[in-house]
Chains A and B, each alone.
Chain A
Amino acid sequence: MWDAFITFMINILLYIYNLVGQNFGLAIILFTILVRLLMYPLTARQVKSSKAMQDLQKSKKWQDIQEKYKDDKEKLAQKQMEVYQEMGISPFGSCLPLLLQFPIIIGLYQAIIRTLAVTPVQLVNLSKHINDGAQLIPINSQFLWMELSEPERLQIFGLGVPILAILVVITSYIQTKMVSTSAPGDDGGQGAQMSKAMSLYMPFFMGYLALTFASGLALYFIATNLTTIAQYVILGQGDFKNLIPNFSSS
């Protein structure tokens, strides 16, 4: 099942690769945007549900219930469910679309990495997934100054500068900050602290991956981040004030 899905993804990627004149860098960018666009209804639903949940949790009614039943967990849960039903909100409304997107994102990533087959074993493995793309082998993995199958460094005055890794850190920071705005529990509690830590560490973690792994992966991270940012802006959730911590808290 999973293999069939990866095969499907790889063949779409190869189709795009062929369509854009066998430019794998461009194919990665377009493929990522395409998959993200197809997932837009899920993303929109997730954002909408998340927003509704945030609004609910800020409401007086919700706060009152929390206060009133703080010592009776069972009763609290029952009352919360009643409020959910009353407001027509599903408590899993924001989780489910995210979970559905998860295998697609992993599939997208795996399709890109598997298609960048530069050694015999990788090519043997790739052959399992290719229907009619033998003519496209070997994949042209040169894009701008990058060899997409290797970690990227741009030589500037004799110094190898990891441009893509830097871009990954910047775009990941912007994306996580925009996505994690005013999340439920932004009251200095455990959830808020975890959110803060995540938005700080996540970009560096992604940057580390971009620094050490194939630059095709870094290109995918950047395309994903920029598409996500664009989607949040379109959905009216892009709050650039959050990019500057002091500005946001004031």
Chain B
Amino acid sequence: MKKYLILILLILSLSLTASACSGRRLSASGWPGLTTDQETAYLAAAQHVYAVNLNNGTLRWKYPSEADNDATFFGAPGLTDDGQLIVTSYDSNVYSLDPDTGNENWSYTEAEDRFISGSLVTSQGIFTGSADHNLYALDFQGNQLWPPFETQEQIWALPNTTEDCDCIYLASMDHHLYVIDIDDGSLRWQTEDLGGPIVSKPSLSENNTVFVSTFANEILAIGPEDHDVLWRFETKDWAWASPVPDGDQVYASDLSGTFYALNQETGELEWQIQPGGRIVSAPLITEEKIYFGTDEGAFILTSKDGTIQRNQTLEGKLYTSPVHAGDLILIAPTDNESLLIAYGEDGVKRWDFSPSE
């Protein structure tokens, strides 16, 4: 009899463990992507993209109106000059929506795997990397500008550009940074193997020095002239979030939860803090302050000398970078009842948005 009880226990445990881990397409689990214009916050959060009124946190529209299990949205939406909202999905499609109504304009369906990040929108087109290893370049009608640019591994990082380079900076999980001609998709140059996968957007300083974070526990600076590595800074754990250059510093973080201020020229550590929890998102840098979140729900405000001025603990995890919208600081927590919370610069909550609304 005991044997049968154990067998029953085994079946129950197996089913519970299986359902908990949810192997079905291994669940589309990302964190919300957030973009704003002057009046609206656009939030890509799992099965819907929400347009939320910045004045009071009310819902303007959501897309799609009925959830589709295959189409989940996590990349930060992009806004085009001609009035389109571009969203990418785990169903391998790119969608153009009307930002006023949420109606679909067109969709691009040629990619073969998920879009993890959002899309880079420039005056020349829409650029987005896919887990199928390709960077896709689209015009504003959803047609390919040039054939997909292929890397050796999945692309999770949002591409970047500068005003004067007519190029795309693309980081891949194949350990390389590529610089691609924006007009024809040809490779201008690429780095050597940088030592580890890169999953976040490469950042650029005013003089076009490129900063990247890698899973090889490093922050790297790559020179604009000869494209060599200028310096490497060793972090305590995988460096996930994009480094953010600002003034003479570059601010970076790692999964140990350490936040670093480095000298932009030399890569030397100027200060570091470790408020608790892991950091996967880039900080929001304002004129005098730095905001960032951790996966233990800590929402940190520091001055630029590393003095913590505020440490609020919220329910859930803060995987998404805070966004500045007018006089509001927006955060999009994961595993929180509210999908979006707006704080004033004084730290007082102004409103929050829950999907049930």
- Residues of chain A touching chain B, judged by Cβ–Cβ distance below 8 Å, are 50, 92, 94-95, 98-99, 102, 106, 109-110, 113-114, 116-124, 127, 134-135, 137-138, 149-151, 183, 185, 191, 194-195, 198, 202, 205, 209, 212-214, 216-217
Contacts and interface: CB of A to CB of B under 8 A. Distances in A.
B17 A110 contact: yes
6 closest A-B pairs (Cβ-Cβ)?
A213-B23, A214-B23, A121-B29, A134-B215, A113-B21, A119-B29
Contact of A191 (B4, B29, B240, B319): B4
B342 interface: no
Contacts of B2: 92, 95
A99 B7 CA distance: 10
A99 B13 CA distance: 13
Contacts of B1: 185, 191
B319 to A, nearest CB: 8
A212 B24 contact: yes
A102 B5 CA distance: 13
9 contacts: A118-B131, A121-B334, A122-B27, A124-B255, A124-B280, A127-B238, A205-B15, A213-B24, A217-B18
Contacts, number: 116
A216 B14 CA distance: 15
A120 B7 contact: no
Contacts of A106: 13-14, 17
B280 A110 contact: no
Contacts of A205: 11, 15
Contact of B216 (A95, A121, A134): A134
Contact of A121 (B10, B31, B173, B217): B31
B148 interface: no
Given A134-B217, A217-B23, 16 more contacts: A98-B3, A113-B26, A116-B26, A118-B26, A119-B27, A120-B30, A124-B295, A127-B215, A127-B238, A149-B26, A151-B24, A194-B4, A198-B7, A205-B11, A213-B24, A214-B25
A109 B17 contact: yes
A119 B7 contact: no
Contacts of A216: 23
